[in-house]
Amino acid sequence: MGRAVYLSHPASLEHDTGAHPERPARIAAIEAELARHEWLGMERVEAPRVAAETLTAVHPERYVRGIEELCLAGGGSIDSDTIVVETSYEAALRAAGGAVRLVDLLCSGAAPTGFSALRPPGHHAEPARAMGFCLFDNVAVAAQHALDAHGLERVLVLDWDVHHGNGTNAAFHASPHVLFVSLHEWPLYPGTGPASDVGSGDGLGYTVNLPVPAGAGDALYRSLLEHVVAPLARAYEPQLVLISAGFDAHRDDPLADVELTEGGFAALAGTVRRLAAELEAPVGAVLEGGYDLRALAASTAATLRVLTADDPPPAEEVPVAPEARAALARLGEHWPTLAVV
Ligand SMILES: [Zn+2]
């Protein structure tokens, strides 16, 4: 098996909408930090454009064309915080394409793990609606591609961005083939993702929303990962794990009030790494938010250090938070094998 991969493309730097928290300097900050550490041994891979049919497996063709036309006409505002310029369409195609290429490399066994470090981010983009800085839902397109092109039947998408991943939530609401688990501050933008939203139709139980209050920190997140997400994943047995990796739950982030540290992100990655090893599923991460440049760079590096290490870190004793116990009790309705601790 080859080395871990780092997917990127210069188009990410051309999607520049002026004074905006979701800005090109985010990528530069991540790359400066990784370069200081020899890229953690990762192989750098240029992200291709996503194939049209891969993109339209999640986003209707008419919607994709609308984004293309808006950009090529010079750009404009889709809503008060989702702005495009002429070069945004190319950036968005590469951002989705990087996530898809990551899935190809993981599913073919060519890479053990990797990170798709492109922008614009994706998890707020619903199938037919751009919002929250997002145009195409990169991780959703990649997860759907894993099902369609690699024949997978069970993909776990773990979204630890501080905001609810309403786009991914919408894309797979009725599907049991993607288990979507989101930890997010609540209430907060975009206002979706209450614990009561558990999916619909055949996907009932396969959407797991774990809202946390403002002020939550490493202890609560670690407890939810160890005592809720891990047993849930063991019950689901995913063939691929994708992290919708936003780093705006960091305590220094200006857009939210969750208080994670770099060490907290490393601990979350550690739990995912142990799980993936146990389930023999590859794990990759796709960049979402994170708006304090220092915190973003340090948290990304902390996460990738764990994902790219030769072995998962040893398990640590993590106390069961009341919120974890409550989540397990709720999930029992759809996941009867989950033990309430
Ligand atoms: Zn976010």
Ligand 1 centre distance from Cα of residue 272 (Å): 20
Across all residues in the chain, what is the average pLDDT?
Answer: 97
* pLDDT value of position 244: 98
pLDDT 10s digits, 63-110: 999 999 999 999 999 999 999 999 999 999 999 999 999 999 999 999
pLDDT band at residue 193, thresholds of 50, 70 and 90?
very high
Question: Which DSSP state fits 227?
Answer: I
| pTM score, whole prediction | 0.98
Ligand 1 centre distance from Cα of residue 110 (Å): 30
pLDDT 10s digits, 211-242: 999 999 999 999 999 999 999 999 999 999 99
Ligand 1 centre distance from Cα of residue 140 (Å): 16
- Mean pLDDT, residues 289-317: 98
Q: Which residues pair with 179 in a beta bridge?
A: 156
The answer on pLDDT for 164 being more than 80 is yes
Q: Which residues pair with 276 in a beta bridge?
A: none
What does the block give as tokens for 218?
């490493």
User: For strand 178-185 and strand 155-159, is the pairing parallel, antiparallel, or unpaired?
Assistant: parallel
Q: In 3-state terms, what secondary structure has residue 197?
A: coil
CA 192 to chain CA centroid, nearest Å? 16
Ligand 1 centre distance from Cα of residue 269 (Å): 18
* pLDDT value of position 341: 73
Ligand 1 centre distance from Cα of residue 162 (Å): 5
The answer on pLDDT for 1 being more than 90 is no
- Mean pLDDT, residues 134-159: 99
pLDDT 10s digits, 16-62: 999 999 999 999 999 999 999 999 999 999 999 999 999 999 999 99
- Mean pLDDT, residues 110-129: 98
Residues recognised as catalytic: 124
Verify cis geometry, omega within 30 degrees of 0, for the bond prior to 120: yes
Q: How far apart are CA 300 and CA 291, in angstroms?
A: 12
pLDDT 10s digits, 230-286: 999 999 999 999 999 999 999 999 999 999 999 999 999 999 999 999 999 999 999
Q: How far apart are CA 287 and CA 134, in angstroms?
A: 12
Amino acid making up residue 335: W
* pLDDT value of position 340: 75
Q: How far apart are CA 308 and CA 40, in angstroms?
A: 7
- Mean pLDDT, residues 297-311: 98
pLDDT band at residue 113, thresholds of 50, 70 and 90?
very high
Ligand 1 centre distance from Cα of residue 33 (Å): 21
E strands, 67-139, are: 75-79, 82-85, 113-116
* pLDDT value of position 4: 98
- Mean pLDDT, residues 317-335: 96
- Which ranges in the chain belong to alpha helices (H)? 11-14, 25-36, 52-55, 61-72, 88-107, 138-150, 166-171, 218-224, 230-236, 262-279, 293-308, 322-331
